[in-house]
């Protein structure tokens, strides 16, 4: 752990020591990652359940920064079943985007690294790859064709100096093995723009990102993500920056498109209303860990982790009068210096005597509903 001086700041010597240590660790990981001609057998794997599109197992993704190691994703496990939508909720900074970037292998390297665990990706016909070991060359073929991502901020994800049409054309051209003609690529781009509900598709084709409204940019991002009919779509807060009417339209659009191409969706948001509308399964994250997971019905009807209960209590309910909405007291622990007990303990209003023990493991409440909390240990053990 980083040593701080009397003012609470890191000394120059300490910062240098951390940087040296980081360089050593990331160089080792990068060396492994940059190996050439990695045989397929090294990243070939089998799904635990062939009915899943993606399986995260004990994934740890860290950022090695000058102030210490940020444990952004700290041992998460959950599945995304084929053809289903999994909603990932949790407050800002809990590791939702880092989880999806780990699946895309788009972490900011060298400081961002998957240090352990696996992400199994179902390629169909009994074949699966472990993304954490898949070389970059193979990933380039999987991205777009197999997994694709609608980013949190369309203005930063789109290139400001290229026209919309050129940017979508590039995606289609890059991922098309047959080598289509320029004409047919343009036709497909226009078709995609129309599919996502852009009326003036020929006009928008020639525009730059700054000439579009926020809702239109988000639609363009969706068109790009769907260009190659991917099997898995990661939607990272696709509607957060939009007003509610456009939000509803985008959600409808995603649902319809999902049914059309029969994809699985990993839907990241901190809006429980959106989750209720979209998700079949829900994963609740807190400080880099999964604290509860289950079907949407289980999570909404029987929220079990105190954090999920707090989240439910803090959402407005139509027809119910409240002076002030509930807010969960306290704040998330510092990700560089996580406690060795339950990460939610300092904010928890339902503590039991065991809570000062080590971080609680997952308790099974039903075949699909799991929670990581000591309150259910006693129940399960009949004490």
Ligand X SMILES: Nc1ncnc2c1ncn2[C@@H]1O[C@H](COP(=O)(O)OP(=O)(O)OP(=O)(O)O)[C@@H](O)[C@H]1O
Binding residues for Mg ion (CB under 5 A)? 97
Site string for ligand SF4, 285-324 (x = CB under 6 A): --------------------xx------------------
For residues 340 and 322, is the Cβ–Cβ distance under 8 A?
Answer: no
Shortest CB 75 distance to ligand SF4, Å: 16
Nearer to ligand X, 65 or 145 (CB): 65
Q: Which value, to the nearest 10 degrees, does the dihedral of the CA atoms of residues 103, 106, 109, 115 take?
A: 0
Q: Residue 40, class by beta-carbon neighbours within 10 Å (0-12 exposed, 13-18 middle, 19+ buried)? A: exposed
Shortest CB 336 distance to ligand SF4, Å: 21
Shortest CB 284 distance to ligand SF4, Å: 11
Nearer to ligand X, 98 or 371 (CB): 98
Shortest CB 92 distance to ligand X, Å: 3
Nearer to Mg ion, 153 or 194 (CB): 153
Q: Given candidates 2, 295, 345, 362, which one binds ligand SF4 under the rule CB under 6 A?
A: 345
Q: Residue 35, class by beta-carbon neighbours within 10 Å (0-12 exposed, 13-18 middle, 19+ buried)? A: exposed
Angle of helix 164-174 relative to helix 214-226, nearest 10 degrees, comes to: 20
**Cα end-to-end distance, the chain, whole Å:** 38
For residues 113 and 64, is the Cβ–Cβ distance under 8 A?
Answer: yes
**Choices 228-236, 293-301, 329-337, 349-357; region in contact with ligand SF4 by CB under 6 A:** 349-357
Shortest CB 98 distance to ligand SF4, Å: 22
**Choices 61-69, 112-120, 325-333, 371-379; region in contact with ligand SF4 by CB under 6 A:** 371-379
CA–CA dist 214, 166 (Å, integer): 19
Binding site for ligand X (CB under 6 A): 63, 65, 70, 72, 90, 92-98, 108, 111-112, 152, 270, 335
- What is the size of the binding site for ligand SF4 (CB under 6 A)? 14
For residues 92 and 311, is the Cβ–Cβ distance under 8 A?
Answer: no
Nearer to ligand X, 230 or 335 (CB): 335
Shortest CB 62 distance to ligand X, Å: 9
Shortest CB 76 distance to ligand SF4, Å: 17
Q: Given candidates 195, 351, 362, 365, which one binds ligand SF4 under the rule CB under 6 A?
A: 351
CA–CA dist 233, 260 (Å, integer): 13
**Does position 360 bind ligand SF4 by CB under 6 A?**
yes
Nearer to ligand SF4, 300 or 341 (CB): 341
Helix (H) or strand (E) holding 89: strand 85-89
Q: Given candidates 90, 344, 363, 370, which one binds ligand SF4 under the rule CB under 6 A?
A: 344
For residues 270 and 241, is the Cβ–Cβ distance under 8 A?
Answer: no
Angle of helix 214-226 relative to helix 182-195, nearest 10 degrees, comes to: 130
> Cα dist. 164→85, 191, 212, 214 in Å?
28, 13, 10, 14
Nearer to ligand X, 79 or 237 (CB): 237
**Choices 14-22, 52-60, 74-82, 346-354; region in contact with ligand SF4 by CB under 6 A:** 346-354
CA–CA dist 135, 148 (Å, integer): 17
> Cα dist. 244→164, 219, 237, 248, 252 in Å?
25, 15, 13, 6, 12
Block residue for tokens 């309150």: 375
Block residue for tokens 């019905």: 297
**Choices 95-103, 213-221, 230-238, 351-359; region in contact with ligand SF4 by CB under 6 A:** 351-359
CA–CA dist 129, 134 (Å, integer): 7
Out of ligand SF4, Mg ion, ligand X, none, which partner does residue 98 contact, by CB within 5 to 8 A per kind?
A: ligand X
Shortest CB 307 distance to ligand SF4, Å: 7
Residues that bind ligand SF4 (CB under 6 A): 305-306, 342, 344-345, 348, 350-352, 355, 360, 373-375
């Amino acid at each position: 752990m980083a040593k701080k001086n009397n003012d609470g700041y890191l000394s120059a010597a300490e910062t240098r020591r951390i940087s040296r240590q980081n360089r050593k660790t990331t160089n080792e990981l990068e060396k492994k990652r940059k190996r050439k001609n990695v045989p397929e057998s090294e990243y070939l794997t089998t799904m635990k359940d062939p009915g899943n599109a993606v399986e995260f197992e004990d994934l740890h993704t860290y950022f090695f920064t000058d102030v210490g190691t940020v444990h952004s994703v700290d041992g998460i496990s959950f599945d995304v079943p084929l053809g289903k939508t999994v909603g990932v909720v949790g407050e800002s900074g809990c590791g939702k985007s880092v989880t999806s970037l780990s699946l895309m292998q788009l972490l900011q390297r060298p400081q961002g690294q998957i240090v352990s665990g696996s992400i199994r990706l179902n390629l169909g016909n009994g074949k699966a790859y472990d993304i954490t070991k898949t070389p970059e060359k193979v990933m380039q073929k999987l991205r777009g064709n197999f997994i694709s991502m609608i980013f949190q901020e369309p203005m930063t994800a789109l290139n400001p100096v290229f026209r919309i049409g050129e940017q979508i054309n590039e995606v289609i051209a890059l991922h098309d093995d047959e080598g289509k003609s320029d004409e047919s690529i343009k036709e497909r781009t226009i078709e995609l723009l129309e599919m996502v509900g852009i009326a003036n598709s020929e006009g928008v084709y020639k525009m730059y990102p700054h000439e579009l409204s926020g809702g239109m940019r988000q639609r363009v991002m969706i068109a790009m993500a769907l260009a190659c009919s991917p099997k898995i779509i990661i939607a990272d807060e696709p509607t957060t920056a939009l007003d509610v009417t456009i939000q509803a339209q985008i959600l409808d659009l995603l649902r319809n498109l999902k049914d059309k191409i029969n994809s699985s969706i990993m839907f990241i948001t901190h809006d429980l209303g959106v989750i209720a509308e979209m998700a079949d399964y829900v994963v609740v994250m807190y400080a880099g860990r999964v604290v509860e997971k289950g079907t949407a019905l289980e999570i909404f009807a029987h929220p079990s982790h105190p954090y999920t209960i707090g989240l439910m209590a803090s959402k407005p309910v139509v027809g119910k009068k409240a002076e002030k909405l509930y807010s969960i007291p306290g704040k998330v622990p510092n990700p560089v210096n996580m406690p060795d007990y339950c990460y939610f303990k300092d904010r928890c209003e339902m503590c039991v005597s065991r809570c000062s023990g080590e971080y609680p493991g997952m308790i099974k409440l039903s075949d699909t509903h799991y929670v990581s909390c000591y309150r259910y240990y006693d129940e399960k053990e009949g004490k």
